[in-house]
A and B are shown apart, each in its own frame.
Chain A
């Protein structure tokens, strides 16, 4: 018997795993094709990517993040993540199953683990989400001066509509991952390096981080288009991710 609730729990756990490049959930991007929960609480996850050549380092990051996100569910005994139709699928699948480091998957082709690239893309996600929140708050009348000085507690205290709350949550989620620890009295808006915006020309700063967001959106669009064509071409039938694949925006990230 497959437990429907548990399958849903797995999908929900997967929805917080993002493609680092696009900063969107692997579920909303339709990368995950199937989730199976066996009676002994073993979980199998199948996923695919838009091209046969998608960067193996990102594929590895996503596969291991999916494994970890699902393994964190209390009842899960074992997780297997399987990437298909990718030139390094075998290496990635084996390595993720063995909980190896990326270095072990591609011996001789790396000079370290993936932590620096992970940090770099977390930084992009931070800037992208900050930009969306800043533009939203600018439209609501906040001034550059306020952004320079506002404390996290003040940002939290702002009365916002649901859209604003969602943007704030997405931003704070990434901020916490960037700067772990108690942040209540720290500045709400800092650069990716943790510096205050005091010395920044606000307009120029906004333009700079807008570029980051546009790049991510462009990549997201291209990925979706290529994946759609690839799926059509391969004549895939019975897509299990149906109904989850059309959410197109940040709110689909499912982060709370």
Chain B
């Protein structure tokens, strides 16, 4: 819970957290090393006092997580969105069994999503069924830029991906978090294209597609798609980290998202341990759009902030917000209208 200066409580759901292991012992090859180092460069967008030494950043403890997210970070419920990266790390960058252990330690505070990779074809589909039975995942994180053997990525519209999406729907994996990353074949096309989200969102209207990093670096393409597809959501991870170093840019991004998607389809995510929820939330609560932006899209309201910080994710994940008995009842089945149409 975050308590405002005037005493109002805000329920916080962090829509994107990880317990990762990028330690030297777990690194398989140069790619694994470059990956965690690149992550560390992103980490440096944090305010100085929140920057960790590299060694700690490679592998932090569960106690670090508890302290940074639950105790200091105001977070009531944290949603794990794991990345496997089995070609880079021996036991995976994220490990779903470890996540499950952590969830059991924190009943009601942790939601663990899983992942699937369509390139595992039939075997992976079976594995998915077993995983869902074992871990009761309510959703998955899809990392289309993941390397696997010779493959440098995949598309949501690949034939096997369709089969996995169909099975996800059958298994009740309702919330599909998609990280839109580069290096997708064919390489000569725009690899950051969010167009495949458009197609599958139309084909699977019962699934929610939470596009992490709101489609960056193709924010405007993402906005046009999201405006047309009511089951497409924006995950603020990465974008919100700019609130410290470039508040003006972040204001432009959030005003753009509010214009095209409206306040009901934007989800806060710290991407912990890339960034800590504490400072992100504190700054977001204080955010006021500059006058020229506010004139175009309206000022961001306190109600909108509350939705983004917790209520929207609570609706998608059936999380009960204390003191609000009706919350979560619709389980994301109510699709808000798009805030604007492209036409």
Q: Residue B41 at the A interface, CB < 8 A?
A: yes
Residues of A whose CB lies within 8 Å of any CB of B are: 21, 50-57, 87, 102-103, 106, 109-114, 116-117, 120, 207-208, 211-212, 214-215, 217-219, 221-222, 225-226, 229-230, 233
Question: Is there contact, CB below 8 Å, between A211 and B219?
Answer: yes
Min CB–CB distance A73 → chain B (angstroms):
29
Partner of A111, one of B152, B188, B220, B253: B188
Whether A207 pairs with B218 at a CB distance below 8 angstroms is: no
CB pair B187 A56 closer than 8 Å: yes
**Best-surrounded residue of A57, A110, A113 (most CB of chain B within 10 A):** A57
Q: Separation in Å of the A217 CB from the closest CB of chain B?
A: 7
What are 26 A-B contacts defined by CB distance under 8 Å? A51-B41, A52-B34, A53-B38, A53-B145, A55-B182, A56-B183, A57-B188, A57-B189, A109-B152, A109-B187, A110-B186, A111-B186, A112-B186, A117-B189, A117-B190, A207-B259, A214-B220, A214-B249, A214-B252, A217-B249, A218-B217, A218-B253, A222-B216, A229-B44, A233-B37, A233-B40
The complex places the Cα of A208 from the Cα of B40 at a distance, in Å, of 34
**In the complex, A114→B182 CA distance in Å?**
16
**Known interface pairs A87-B34, A217-B249; A53-B183 also in contact (CB < 8 Å):** yes
- Interface, chain B (partner A; CB < 8 A): 31, 34-35, 37-38, 40-42, 44-45, 145, 152, 182-183, 185-192, 216-220, 223, 242, 245-246, 249, 252-253, 256, 259, 296
Residues of A near B216 (CB, < 8 A) are 215, 218-219, 222
Cα-based distance from A157 to B186 in the complex (angstroms): 45
- CA A250 – CA B242 in complex, angstroms? 21
Closest A residue by C-beta to B246: A221
Query: Is the beta-carbon distance between A120 and B44 smaller than 8 angstroms?
Result: no
Q: From B190, which residue of chain A is reached at the shortest CB distance?
A: A117
Report A-chain residues with C-beta under 8 Å of the C-beta of B185: 109-110
Which of A21, A207, A215, A222 contacts B296, CB < 8 Å?
Answer: A207
Whether A21 touches B37, Cβ cut-off 8 Å, given contacts A55-B191, A56-B187, A109-B186, is no
Closest CB pairs A-B (n = 6): A211-B220, A229-B41, A52-B34, A110-B188, A219-B217, A111-B186
In the assembly, what is the distance between CA of A1 and CA of B292, in Å? Answer: 55
With a CB–CB cut-off of 8 A, which chain A residues contact B219?
Answer: 211, 214-215, 218
Q: Which of B35, B192, B252, B296: most chain A Cβ within 10 A?
A: B252
Q: What chain A residues lie within 8 Å of B191 (beta carbons)?
A: 55, 57
Question: What separation, in Å, do the CA atoms of A110 and B189 have in the docked complex?
Answer: 8
Q: Which of A52, A211, A218 contacts B38 (CB 8 A)?
A: A52
For residue B219, which residue of chain A has the nearest CB?
Answer: A215
Residues on B with beta carbons closer than 8 Å to the beta carbon of A102: 187-188
Q: Of A51, A103, A212, A214, which one neighbours B253 at CB under 8 angstroms?
A: A214
Contact residue among A114, A120, A218 (Cβ-Cβ distance under 8 Å from B249): A218
- B38–A215 touching, CB < 8 Å: no
Q: Which residues of A contact B38 (CB under 8 A)?
A: 51-53, 226, 230
- Given A55-B191, A208-B220, A214-B220, 19 additional A-B pairs, CB 8 A: A50-B41, A51-B41, A55-B183, A55-B192, A57-B188, A102-B187, A103-B188, A106-B187, A109-B187, A116-B189, A117-B188, A212-B220, A214-B256, A218-B252, A218-B253, A221-B246, A225-B245, A233-B40, A233-B41
Question: Closest chain B residue to A55 by CB distance?
Answer: B182
Among residues of A, the one whose C-beta sits closest to the C-beta of B42 is: A226
| With A51-B38, A109-B152 as contacts: A116 and B188 at CB distance below 8 Å | yes
Task: Give Cα distance in the complex from A242 to B84, angstroms.
Answer: 39
- Give, as a whole number of angstroms, the nearest-CB distance from A110 to chain B: 4
In angstroms, how far is the closest chain A Cβ from the Cβ of B52? 14
How far is the CB of B274 from the nearest CB of chain A, in Å?
A: 12
- Bound-state Cα–Cα, A54 to B187, Å: 12
Please give, as numbers and ranges, the residues of chain A lying within 8 Å of B253 by CB-CB distance: 214, 218
Tell whether, in the assembled complex, residue A215 and residue B220 are in contact, meaning their CB atoms are under 8 Å apart.
yes
Are A225 and B45 closer than 8 Å at their CB atoms? yes
Contacts of A233 in B (CB 8 A): 37, 40-41
Q: Which residues of B contact A214 (CB under 8 A)?
A: 219-220, 249, 252-253, 256
B41 touches A215 (CB 8 A): no
Of all chain B residues, which has the CB nearest A106?
Answer: B187
User: Knowing A225-B45, A226-B41 touch, does A215 contact B188 (C-beta < 8 A)?
Assistant: no
Q: Which of A110, A211, A217, A221 contacts B187 (CB 8 A)?
A: A110
Among the listed A53, A208, A217, which residue makes an inter-chain contact with B34, where contact means beta carbons less than 8 Å apart? A53
Contact, CB under 8 Å: A221 / B188: no
Residue of A nearest to B34 (CB): A52
Q: Which residues of B contact A211 (CB under 8 A)?
A: 219-220, 223, 256
- Expressed in whole angstroms, the Cα–Cα distance for A225 and B41 within the complex equals 8
